[in-house]
Structure 1
């Protein structure tokens, strides 16, 4: 049995303290998900994940081949082609990842009213009955990544807090697909062939998300109709070419923005000023020819990733404000390596608001 992944990822991410760089090379970790193991590695419940229940579990029956313990039913890596029958009614965590399930039928989860987390990662699911999730009145976590879904499931439980549906075949986010999901605060839907036109106006209306990732998609620009409650937005590995003045105007609560591995050439003046609480900015692996304007005005900005661009010079006031009393928090990390900038010409005063010299990474530029 493989190692098991924690279920409380979104809670950890969305309730975390402001980002503090522990080591500069943290940028090499996966954005926002470095606490999570590979989805195919399994899932292990902890007392913090399983809701408290003073009643003793009644796990008298266990589907053939599965492991049942403390209201947890693990049926991963069994070659199953359908959801097993006779799942105990008091199950709170059901693990069905790494199987060959192709369809979720209407009564597959009948009677599982206490189910808290459902893991369907890495199957072959292409069809989900629109009433399949109706019995799951207390479902908080739904992991259905790495399947063959062409659309987001309808009638998701109103209790849902976290949805992971990345690496499917989803091309569209309909206007009403998230209706009634007032508890949802984390959605991971990267790795789908989703374009800007596929996000219908109002698709995220009513959601108060803290975390959203639409990476490795086909976005050509920053979506303008996402929830304004977002604290983290990750749009890395898309086809975004520019950041225009009003692209970020509604995302004033962001403290982490991921735009690495795009084709960004231009960041218009004033476009970053709408994010006064920003702590961390990823713009690495783009096509920028200069340091983005407006960085000195971001009082709480701590980490900026600008490596692997086309930056040829760094001005003395590109990062730090002029005078005193403007920037409140010093930088913990600035990456500028793999840029054609002659670092020996950069004035030392350029980094006067950086914690120490080890927080600055230039390196050698080689073509």
Structure 2
């Protein structure tokens, strides 16, 4: 069930430019939300397989310009300049996306202790009161992307599982910004003017997250002290110039890594030693002149994107280990097209550890 939630959240994380979230589809796909809603009623027979059984008794008290049903408040696309008043206390999902709200005040969500998901995307929010999310122990989804925030909101609920701050004006991640957030599955910080100097030492201390995205920013190097819990890391569309051996030493659970569309010219030997579980690496659209060292030691690596670089030579042992049994999973994709390498000079044994001949993309992909 946790895997299903993560998949749902990752789908929502790739919505750029702004694309409205379909709240009803979100509810149908989010089984954990269904489970949490059902926990409030211990006296029923457990038959809660349809949202039609949830309470609709607050519909007549719905705030102006909003629609209320099944403990869901929908107020998107209404030109609202502030959060509606008198939101029913048993609301579990609030949709306020695509309005003109400029500020989240202290009492805007007061008393909404059952709130599970809050969508505030595509407003003009520049200020969030430090106590705006107090007593929201059940809040799991908080999306604040496409706003005017200049800093990460204070006192975020510790139980949040998806936090999206994509496309704001945040340039600084202070120490302890995500302190105690051990349930965080998805943290989206892309399209903010974040430079390495803006990430304070200890910024990611005392937190755990599976998916972190700081793409389309101003990074010139891989940030230090990233959460060791990471399984997926996106640093694409930055200005990173090289990879060093210490960059990923703590990320032993990392499985997927995006570094495409940077300015990487050099990968230090031993860079991927600390990522024994890595399965997918994106290093395409960089300035590499050779295949990164150490790929042949990665037992589970299956997908390697290196196209659109300046690679002119591929060695016979660049991808595959000398001992066949050392490789636990075969490559399903190696892309080398749009490089100056003469593919007809590559020795046949070079790709001895691929799943099929179609796994390798060379030349210009013409048939």
- Partners of 2:131 and 2:137 lie apart in 1 by 12
Say if 2:176 and 2:206, in contact at 8 Å, map to a contact too: no
Say if 2:324 and 2:353, in contact at 8 Å, map to a contact too: no
Alignment of 1:130-279 (within 5 A): 130-279=130-279
Task: Report the Cα offset of residue 331 of structure 1.
Answer: 0.3
Counterpart in 1 of 2:315?
315
Counterpart in 1 of 2:104?
104
Say if 1:43 and 1:95, in contact at 8 Å, map to a contact too: no
Task: Report the Cα offset of residue 265 of structure 1.
Answer: 0.3
Counterpart in 1 of 2:46?
none
Instruction: Give CA-to-partner distance per residue, 1:189-226, whole Å, 9 cap, x none.
Output: 01100011111111111111111111111111011111
TM-score (norm 1): 0.89
Counterpart of 2:257 in 1: which secondary structure? strand
Instruction: Give CA-to-partner distance per residue, 1:145-172, whole Å, 9 cap, x none.
Output: 0100000000111221210001100010
- Partners of 2:15 and 2:192 lie apart in 1 by 20
Task: Report the Cα offset of residue 36 of structure 1.
Answer: 5.3
Counterpart in 2 of 1:26?
none
Counterpart in 2 of 1:298?
298
Say if 1:123 and 1:146, in contact at 8 Å, map to a contact too: yes
TM-score (norm 2): 0.89
RMSD: 2.1
Residue 40 (str. 1) matches residue 19 (str. 2):
yes
Counterpart of 1:334 in 2: which secondary structure? strand
- Partners of 1:257 and 1:270 lie apart in 2 by 16
The answer to which of 89-98 and 63-72 deviates more is 63-72
Counterpart in 1 of 2:342?
342
Counterpart in 1 of 2:51?
none
Counterpart in 2 of 1:27?
none
Counterpart of 1:130 in 2: which secondary structure? coil
- Partners of 2:151 and 2:21 lie apart in 1 by 25
- Partners of 2:211 and 2:273 lie apart in 1 by 21
Structure 2 regions of 5+ residues with no counterpart? 42-53
Which of 6, 11, 14 lines up with 1:11 in the alignment?
6
Counterpart in 2 of 1:59?
58
Task: Report the Cα offset of residue 175 of structure 1.
Answer: 0.6
- Partners of 1:91 and 1:180 lie apart in 2 by 26
- Partners of 2:208 and 2:325 lie apart in 1 by 33
Structure 1 regions of 5+ residues with no counterpart? 1-6, 15-31
Say if 2:13 and 2:164, in contact at 8 Å, map to a contact too: no
Say if 1:185 and 1:207, in contact at 8 Å, map to a contact too: no
Say if 2:181 and 2:208, in contact at 8 Å, map to a contact too: no
**Larger helix share, 1 or 2:** 2
Say if 2:267 and 2:292, in contact at 8 Å, map to a contact too: yes
Task: Report the Cα offset of residue 33 of structure 1.
Answer: 4.2
Say if 1:10 and 1:162, in contact at 8 Å, map to a contact too: no
